[in-house]
Every structure is written in structure tokens, then in C-alpha cells.
């Protein structure tokens, strides 16, 4: 059973290169071993992450992520059964939303400043699929 899960969270400190590397490097190894794929998007203080994989593997990872003290307010936006992965090429891709054309993000947001906590979860999901389709993912 494949599932796709999307959550938003607030970083406790600034999201800089050191934090991203500390999160992403071990994650990519672990995700490969666990059959997890996905995308980690961020602004300067908010994470938006999609996780895909087996239901038990994603649920287990989500429990670990919710206890991680590097962020807070982990808010589940989508948890769906899916028939295929959308990010199968990425053990965990990464996108800084601050580098994306604001007009592209505004298509999926009520305000210029994106607030994933207030919008519809499936709209946020559509935004990530749009980023994938238009090549906004900067690393694997």
C-alpha cells in the first residue's frame, strides 16, 4: 500500500544551509533504505515536506519527524493512499520556495506570502506537483 503524506512545520531556528544539510544528508540514506521518496520545500522559517512510500514506513517516519526538536507545529495537510509516486526520482528533493517565481506560488495561494498552515492541503500538494513539472527541484 503506497501513501503520500504532506505536512507543514515551523523551524525553531533559521533554515540555513547547515540545517538543511544536517537534515537532508542522513535522510537521503535512510529514505533509500526504507523506500521513501519525496520533497522538502522551505522558506526561511517554514518546512513543507511530502513523503511517499509504504504506509507503515511513512507512518513510522512521520512519528520520528513529529518528535524532532528542530521544528514545531508539525501539521498534517494530506495523508492519502495513492496508486503511484510523484517523486520517485528523489530520495528527498529540495526546493527553496524563496527562489521560486512568486507568480507561480500565487496560483496556489490566497496571499503573496505563502501560508501552508491556512490553505487547503490539496492545493499545497498541487503546488509541489507543479514545481516538479517545471523543474524547480534543485537537488536529489
Ligand X SMILES: Cc1cc2nc3c(=O)[nH]c(=O)nc-3n(C[C@H](O)[C@H](O)[C@H](O)COP(=O)(O)O)c2cc1C
Interaction site with ligand X (CB under 6 A)? 23, 27, 30-31, 40, 47, 49, 61, 64-65, 68, 70-71, 92
Cβ–Cβ under 8 Å, residues 23 and 99: no
CA torsion through residues 88, 80, 102, 133, sign: positive
Q: How far is the CB of 63 from ligand X (least distance, A)?
A: 9
Q: Which is nearer to ligand X, 17 or 101 (CB)?
A: 17
What are the distances in angstroms from CA 46 to CA 2, 11, 40, 71, 88?
26, 6, 10, 9, 24
Q: How far is the CB of 69 from ligand X (least distance, A)?
A: 9
Q: Which is nearer to ligand X, 4 or 31 (CB)?
A: 31
Q: Which is nearer to ligand X, 56 or 106 (CB)?
A: 56
C-alpha cell at 7: 505536512
Q: How far is the CB of 104 from ligand X (least distance, A)?
A: 22
Amino acid at each position: 500500500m503506497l501513501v503520500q503524506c504532506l505536512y507543514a512545520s515551523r523551524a525553531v531556528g533559521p533554515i540555513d544551509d547547515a540545517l538543511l544539510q544536517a537534515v537532508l544528508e542522513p535522510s537521503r540514506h535512510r529514505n533509500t533504505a526504507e523506500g521513501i521518496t519525496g520533497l522538502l520545500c522551505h522558506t526561511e522559517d517554514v518546512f513543507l515536506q511530502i513523503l511517499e512510500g509504504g504506509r507503515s514506513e511513512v507512518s513510522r517516519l512521520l512519528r520520528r519527524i513529529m518528535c524532532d526538536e528542530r521544528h514545531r507545529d508539525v501539521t498534517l495537510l494530506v495523508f492519502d493512499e495513492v496508486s503511484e509516486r510523484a517523486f520517485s526520482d528523489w530520495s528527498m528533493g529540495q526546493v527553496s520556495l524563496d527562489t521560486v517565481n512568486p507568480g507561480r506560488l500565487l496560483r496556489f495561494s490566497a496571499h503573496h506570502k505563502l501560508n501552508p498552515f491556512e490553505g487547503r492541503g490539496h492545493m499545497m500538494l498541487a503546488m509541489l506537483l507543479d514545481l516538479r513539472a517545471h523543474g524547480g527541484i534543485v537537488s536529489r
